[in-house]
Structure formats: C-alpha cells, structure tokens
Amino acid sequence: MAANHLTMSLSIALDGYWLDKQLEFSPNTVAKYRYFFRRLIAFLGDVELDQVTTADIRRFLVHLATVPGPSGRILSRRSVHDVWAVLSSFWTWAERELGVPHIIRGKIKAPSYTEKTVEPLTQADVAALLRAADHQRAYSLPNGKRVRSRRPSAARDRAIVLTLLDSGLRVSELCGLTVADYDAARGRLHVRHGKGDKERFVVVGNRTRKAIWVYLVNRGEAKPSDPLFAARTNLPLHRSNLRHILARLGEQAGVPNVHPHRFRHTFAITFLRNGGNPLLLQKLLGHERLETVQVYIRLAEQDIDAGSKYSPADNWGIGG
C-alpha cells in the first residue's frame, strides 16, 4: 500500500526498494542496478526523492551517453537503455509504495539502440583457439631454435572453451559453477542463478566432458563447493578474468573479437543447424520468450539439417 507521499532522500528510498526487490534479482543483476543507482546519486547528489524531475533524468541519460564514467568509458546506447529500464523500475516501485509521481513512464521514451550482429565462430576459429590454449607463443633460444612451452592453464582453458561452445552459457553462469554443479556421468551442468535468478540444466558433449575430466584430474582434489573452473588461487574466475583469458587466446590464435557471448551465439546457431528444436534452444539458453531466439533462427534457417547430435565439439570433431 502506498504511503502518503513520504519525503525522503534518494538513498533512503533505495533502501526500501532493495528490501522489496533484492530477492527477485540474481546477484549480477543486483550489482548492475546498484552501479546505475550510484551513478545517479553521484550525478544528482543525495537529493529528496520528490525533488527529482523528468528533466533531471533526461540530463542524466545524456550524461551517461557522453561523459566517461569511473571506468573511463562512455556507456553504450544499449547500456543507457538498460539504465532507463532500471530507473523506470525504481519509480514504478516508488509510485506504488511512496505515492510519488512516476517521472519516466509516458514522459521519457526508451533510448534506442542497434543490436549488434555477432558473427559465430567457425570450426577453424575454435580449432585455433584450442591450439592457442595448449601452448605459449613460440620464442627463440640463444641458438636460434624456436620452441613453444605448454601453458600452465592449458587443461582449464581448453575445458572452458569447449564448455562455452557446447552449452551456450553466459559468462556469469560459467563463472558461478561449482564442482557439485557438474554431473560428470550425464555431462550435465546445473545453472543455479541464471538471468532473473532462474535455474536450469544444460548438457555438454563427450569431447567437452573429456576436456573437463582432464582438467579436474590434473587439478587435483577439489571439494564440491569449489568453483568448477578456478583461478590459480582456487577462487572462482571473475567475469573480467574470463573475458581477458578468451581475448588473449583470440589474439594468439589470430581470431578477432573473441568473447564469451560469441560462444553463446555459436552454440545457438550450430544447435539449430544440427537439427535442434527452437523451443529446446530457448530453454537451454535460459530465455523467457521464444521471440528472443528468432535472431538465431533467421541466421540458421538457410541450412538447418535434420539431425540428433547438437554438440558443436562432437560434430566438428574438435577437442578430442
């Protein structure tokens, strides 16, 4: 029930918002929302909630799109759109709970953005990434001989590349996996906190299962609560670390623009080309609506073949 137009600062109102909303969101969504709210308070100051105007929000969105933030980067148009959605969610809550007018709905149009087309990785791209995961760059000895040493994280990084390829996991989902989340007998991964904090299961093929087995055997004893893919400290990989690992592999392999989401696209398109059902793809990717996978259907529809094997690694014969 709405209060009678309470007067309070933005930060106090946000405390109430989180008491209602925090359990609805995944940890990554909470972190993103909190970042956007911090940027808002840094821009406006911790002013009274009912003093914030539609013009203030317009100026804030323009600021995000034109002025570098703490990271030194300007937010993309897609990110500015996401900020608009987050703020609209907050004022919807504030209108209902605090009786303040909604200063965004019907007053500020959602910022537009162009969805980037992501090129799927090719079979040759993935083979090159796996070779790069195995060995360091070649270097010359004093006698002129060229040698390549094996990378200490070779087994882990091969397993990561193949798992991303075979599962379509988001970067945060892969980083959040524990040893207990992996059912080795079935090749099944339990995603406990997907987008919207929804859980689901995905499966990987035999070659990926072998790569994970090699990694875990070489890694040594790991507790069920340990991260499935661990940093050297045995702590979970952070999303930024994983992006950096993949970008370095891409640089060494001569494959441009290697990032986790590109593996997700590759999985989806290859799944459909190998005869996969769009409804099953929707569930495997963790999308709420079938419309979200339409982009993959359009990309794959020219050459979808009947088939029952969906694993890209198995179909390409990569990783064994």
Catalytic residue, chosen from 151, 195, 207, 209, is 195
Q: Specify the DSSP class assigned to residue 275.
A: T
What the block records as the tokens of 225 is 């609560």
Query: Among 256, 266, 257, 244, which Cα is nearest to 167's?
Result: 266
Pull the structure tokens for residue 250: 């891409």
Q: Tokens 């661990």 identify what position? A: 230
59 is catalytic: no
Task: Please report the DSSP string for 200-263 in residue order.
Answer: EEEE--HHHHHHHHHHHHHH----TTSBSSB-TTSSBPPHHHHHHHHHHHHHHHT-SS--HHHH
* Per annotation, catalytic residue among 158, 170, 207, 262: 170
Q: Which of 21, 188, 193, 287 is catalytic?
A: 287
Q: Is 148 a residue of the active site?
A: no
Report the distance separating Cα 124 and Cα 211, nearest Å. Answer: 19
Of 32, 39, 248, 261, the catalytic one is 261
Inter-axis angle of helices 154-167 and 123-134, to 10 degrees?
Answer: 160
Q: How far apart are CA 161 and CA 158, in angstroms?
A: 5
Contact 20, 97 (CB under 8 A): yes
Q: Is 235 left (phi over 0), alpha (psi -120 to 50) or beta?
A: beta
Pick the catalytic residue: 17, 182, 296, 310? 296
33 among known catalytic residues:
no
User: Does residue 102 carry a catalytic annotation?
Assistant: no
The CB-side HSE value for 274 (13 A sphere, CA atoms) comes to 18
State which H helix or E strand residue 98 sits in: helix 77-98
The dihedral over CA atoms of 95, 101, 107, 112, expressed in degrees to the nearest 10, equals -30
The Cα 211–Cα 8 span in angstroms is: 55
Check 264, 265, 273, 310 and give the catalytic one: 264
Q: Which residues are catalytic?
A: 170, 195, 261, 264, 287, 296
